[in-house]
Amino acid sequence: MNTIQRRCLLPLRAVCNVTVSLLIVLPGPFPAATLPQSPSQSVDEDNVRSLTKKLGETIATGDLETMRGFWDPQSPELASRLRFYQSFFLRSRIELINSNVTRLEVTGDKAISNLTSDERYLDKKTGAILSERDASHGVCRSFEWVKTGAGWKIEREFSVQDELAAKLDAATSERERDELLTKEKAFVTDALVQSLGGRGHRYRVRLDYDAALRCYQLQQVVSEKISDRAGIATALGNIGVLKYAQDELEEALLFQQKSLALFEAAGLRRGVALALGKLSEVYHALGDQRLAFECAQQSLRLYEEANDRRRMAEVLADLAYIYEDQNDVQQTLAHFERALSLAQEVGDLIEVAVLRHDVAKQYQAQGNYERARPGR
């Protein structure tokens, strides 16, 4: 696979509790009086609060069938949410830290609750942390409920930070974005930084590079606003990946070097590993095989130290491409096969497909057509 082909594949890789009350405004200078809640509303609030806490515990355990029981079977979003969690729980788990119900509103047979937590994403098998930072802070999940004959059930679940990221992306002026960030201050955390990055990635995969750049730049702005060094480093790295995809290699190199320096200054070894891996890809595309090899080797050692199997597979594949360009057939095949084994372990179907093709190509080049056959 040549450099241009690999670059085409790149997008595939990379508050207080609120209580509902009724107000009667009396004429004259008397203050408004708050009527007591009805017993039924108080019970409903207690039930929704309890269900929200139990749902958080279920997400943390990864129990898909129990999770299904929280949902209204008629919800049009049920199937897609369960598919999302099924895919995630296949190889990962979520650790919820200091979870709290931070919003609760009940209106008739409808309710909404927010569950806010710090979240850590872990490799299900090894326990390795799967992000550059130790945890994402102030992650807010919102649940819309409906009261059915079987009790309160979820109609919709969404990330408050994802929704805010979409609003920031759609804003037509810097003033509008500043107003949003001020109004939604409680949700302006590194979780929002992560949401903006994810939004940028989705644009990049669709080859909408202008929109991707806008989101990555917003990611940098928000990171700077909350003094999130890891977020700034990540945003710069994302812009570097975008420049790489656009074949602007010198700019890609500068952004990845800045990203590496910030991760090193912040002492985030997983971030350093990420930046080194991306630098390796840029050096390789520029034809500097020595620096490409050195950066990839350093990245691999850090990922091995962190026991991050998915990222290990990616860097092993990068090393295989470097060996391939040096016509070292033995090392090329060895690195591709090790990368393939790890990709299969973590269930990365896209990476598995790419690596199976690369392994088969190596066997075919050796004349070993039996081993080159699909499914071998």
Gyration radius of the chain's alpha carbons = 24
CATH 1.25.40.10 residue ranges of the chain are: 181-267
Residue listed under structure tokens 């895919």: 87
| Nearest Cα residue to 366 out of 339, 343, 334 | 334
| Nearest Cα residue to 295 out of 257, 267, 324, 268 | 257
Residue 18 DSSP code: -
CA–CA distance, 224 with 201 (Å, rounded to integer):
20
| DSSP 3-state of 109 | coil
> Could you list the pLDDT tens digit for every one of the 376 residues in the chain?
544 455 544 444 443 333 333 223 333 444 444 556 667 789 999 999 999 999 999 999 999 999 999 999 999 999 999 999 998 998 899 999 999 999 999 999 999 999 999 999 999 988 999 999 999 999 999 999 999 999 999 999 999 999 999 999 999 999 999 999 999 999 999 999 999 999 999 999 999 999 999 999 999 999 999 999 999 999 999 999 999 999 999 999 999 999 999 999 999 999 999 999 999 999 999 999 999 999 999 999 999 999 999 999 999 999 999 999 999 989 999 999 999 999 999 888 888 999 998 888 888 877 776 776 665 5
pLDDT at position 37 is 62
pLDDT at position 284 is 97
8 Å CB contact between 214 and 202: no
pLDDT at position 177 is 96
CATH 3.10.450.50 residue ranges of the chain are: 11-20+38-162
Q: Which residues pair with 159 in a beta bridge?
A: 141
pLDDT at position 18 is 33
* CATH architecture for the domain at 181-267: Alpha Horseshoe (1.25)
CA–CA distance, 319 with 330 (Å, rounded to integer):
12
CA–CA distance, 297 with 276 (Å, rounded to integer):
9
Tally helices (H) and strands (E) across the chain: 16, 6
Torsion (CA) 294, 298, 300, 303 in degrees, nearest 10: -160
* CATH architecture for the domain at 11-20+38-162: Roll (3.10)
pLDDT at position 16 is 35
Q: Is 350 exposed, middle or buried (0-12, 13-18, 19+ CB in 10 A)?
A: exposed
pLDDT at position 30 is 40
- H or E segment to which residue 100 belongs: strand 92-107
pLDDT at position 1 is 53
